[in-house]
Each structure stands twice: as structure tokens, then as C-alpha cells.
Amino acid sequence: MHVGVLLSALEEPQRCGAISGSGWNLDWPVAQLMRVGRYILSIHGTEQKGDYQSGGDIHKFKLQPVVYIIYLCGWGRARRHCATMSWRMKIATYNVNSIRRRLPIVLDWLSTHQPDVFCLQETKVQDSEFPTDAIREAGYHASFRGMKGYNGVATLTKGVPDKVVHGLHEGSDNEDFRIIQTVVNGIPIINSYVPQGHSITSEKYALKIIWFRRLQRYFATHLDPALPALWVGDLNVAPEPIDVYHPDRRVNDPDFHIDARTAFKEAVEWGFVDVFRRLHPDRVQYTYWDYFRSAFRQNFGWRIDHILATAPLAEKCVAVDVDVEPRKVADASDHTVVWADFNL
């Protein structure tokens, strides 16, 4: 049973909150916890230590981002008390179109919404100039790979990930500035920036189609559709006519052309669910508006930024939305933030 608890100042019954930096949410009286008995709370990567009191005895415990409870005095009783516990994970994705230029927007969103995982695309900065210190001061660890002026992906997490995988594969031509996998609390999170394609007659568009096929092989190598996993990012495809303004006029656009849509759907059919469409099947909502023709004001947009989950995880998605506020501020990216909450 995974549990996150804040055990402090136990002189009187109180409600437990989330451990800072863990993503655990728990609404459970401390008084109940004190009655249950003795526990050992442990997993890799100790963050802090302390004591709690149970039946007059003081016991040592450790707090970590993910905590396993082992009940030492009657497992059945402990399970009954643990049944009300859950972990709420918030994940968000945002094409920043330059992390250095959009850093104030990113920091404000982190402070206001406290996502457990924030995936960024088009960071457009070489690794030596990534704003690691500012991200750390905001309470986040940054895993990233980028290049000067183009591409770049970064995943911000409240703790150090269990694992980080850069690129589609090891060695050269691995596109590590377009895809990064971080494993957070055992859940693989694929953050990717799919090539835009330029025009449907270009070599870049042909490479875009190939890229989706490479993604399918990547999923088959690294993931299991029967287990929780996420694929998020600027995927540069509006899957259906509802996902783009004036769809009848967009059929030759590289983000809505039938070949790109088919390649995207084939990648999704490997084992992913579009959680936005699962919860909002008929809603017109865009995530990208270009800087021209007053596109944002007129809502001439595209839904090309996505959060997709394997079926076991999609079933636990309780909320998903598009936050348009970052698109309204001065010097905004042409994309905005998509976020989802999962009850695990």
C-alpha cells in the first residue's frame, strides 16, 4: 500500500497534508494513525527523518516521495485503515518556445499549481545554459537535453526520478533533444517533441511520419501497455476535425494531413488513451494559437499538445484541462499548458 503522510506536531489529532515535494495527498486523521500501531515507513532515497508516537511509545520513521507501510502488529487491521488513502498525481505539459524567455511563466505555474511532473518542449537552449538553479529554487529537479536555438525537452519533477532515459535509443541519431523518459514513482513518463513537418511535400514531413513509427518501436522496447505509463508533449498532430479550427481548410497542413493523423493514431493504438478526449469527448478546446491574424483572440487554434496514458492509468484520470492563462500574458508562448490529475 503506497501512502504519503506528514507526521509532525502529533500532540493532538489533526489532518495530514501532502509531503512537500512528494505529490501524495492524504485526508486521514492522525488520531487514527496513532491508534493503528507500529509501522516501518521506508523506500529508496530518504528525504527526512522523525518520530511519531503510538500508544505511548516513540518510533522512528522516514519520509520519502513514495512510502511503503509495513504494519508490524496485525496486517489486516492496517489494511482497513489504509483503505481511505490515495495518491493524487498532477502532470502538465507545455511547449515553452524558449525556456529562458518563458522562465517567469514556468516558475509562476509551478508555484501556483504545484504539479508533480511538468514536461517542457522547445526549450531552445544548450544544456550548459539551462536555468537549473532557478528550477531548483522553485523546488524541482530538472532532467533535460537540448541544443542552441532549436528543439529541446525538459522534465521537471519534485524529486529525483527513479530513472532517466535520453533519446529513442543509445548511440548516434537518437533524437535525444526531442524525447526524454523519466520514471517517477514507478511510472514511465515519455516527454516528446514530435517534428512539425514544415509542408506535406517536404522531406521534413516524410521524416515526421517515420518518427511516429520509431516511437512505436520505442514503446514496444521500453513500455508495457498493461502497466501505467504516460506519453505527453507537443505531438504536432490534431487528431480529429474537432481539434482544429476550420478543419476543411487544414487538410494539407502537416499537423492535420491524413498521413500524419494516421501515423499518430497507429502510435496511440499501441496502447494509449487520450485522457482529454476520454473526459471531454465533445469539447472544442485548443492548445496552440499562432502569433498571426489575432489567432488567439479569434480562437483560431489547434489541439496538438496531448497527455496520453496506458489504459490502467487512463482509468484513474479524474481531471484534465487546458489552462489558457499562460497564453494571455505578455511575451507568451504560442502554446499553453495542458494538465491532468490521476488518483493512484
Per-residue pLDDT of the chain (344 residues; tens, 9 = 90+): 333 333 332 222 333 333 333 333 333 333 333 333 333 333 333 333 343 333 433 333 333 333 333 333 344 444 444 444 567 999 999 999 999 999 999 999 999 999 999 999 999 999 999 999 999 999 999 999 999 999 999 999 999 999 999 999 988 889 999 999 999 999 999 999 999 999 999 999 999 999 999 999 999 999 999 999 999 999 999 999 999 999 999 999 999 999 999 999 999 999 999 999 999 999 999 999 999 989 999 999 999 999 999 999 999 999 999 999 999 999 999 999 999 999 99
Q: How far is residue 273's CA from residue 269's CA, in Å, rounded to a whole number?
A: 8
pLDDT at 176: 96
Domain identity same for 185 and 49 = no
Residue found under cell 480529429: 240
Give the active site residue among 39, 52, 218, 234: 234
Query: What is the distance between the alpha carbons of residues 266 and 233, in angstroms, rounded to a whole number?
Result: 17
Last-in-domain residue among 84, 111, 127: 84
Question: 100 and 76 share a domain?
Answer: no
Cα gap 187→313, rounded to integer Å? 9
Q: Smallest Cα–Cα separation from 240: which of 200, 276, 293?
A: 276
Residue 16 lies in a domain: no
Q: Tell me if 13 sits within 8 A of 29, measured CB to CB.
A: yes
- State whether 227 and 273 are in the same domain: yes
Give the per-residue pLDDT at 86.
64
State whether 39 and 141 are in the same domain: no
Which of 84, 115, 134 delimits the end of a domain? 84
Q: Are residues 150 and 206 in the same domain?
A: yes
Measured CA to CA, the distance from residue 65 to residue 184 in angstroms comes to 10
- Asked whether 210 and 251 are in contact (CB, 8 A), the reply is no
Give dist(CA 43, CA 64) in Å, integer: 7
Q: What's the pLDDT at 171?
A: 81
Last residue of one domain, picked from the residues 43, 64, 84: 84
306: nearest Cα among 338, 341, 270: 338
Residue 194: domain span: 89-343
Inside any domain, residue 15: no
234 is catalytic: yes
Residues contacting 64, CB < 8 A, separation 6+:
22, 41, 42, 43, 44, 45, 46, 47
State the catalytic residue, choosing from 52, 193, 205, 286: 193
Q: Are residues 252 and 228 in the same domain?
A: yes
d(CA 70, CA 92): 32
Q: Same domain, yes or no, for 94 and 243?
A: yes
Q: What is the DSSP pairing of strand 117-121 with strand 86-95? A: parallel
Domain count, the chain: 2
The pLDDT value recorded for residue 41 is: 35
pTM value is 0.79
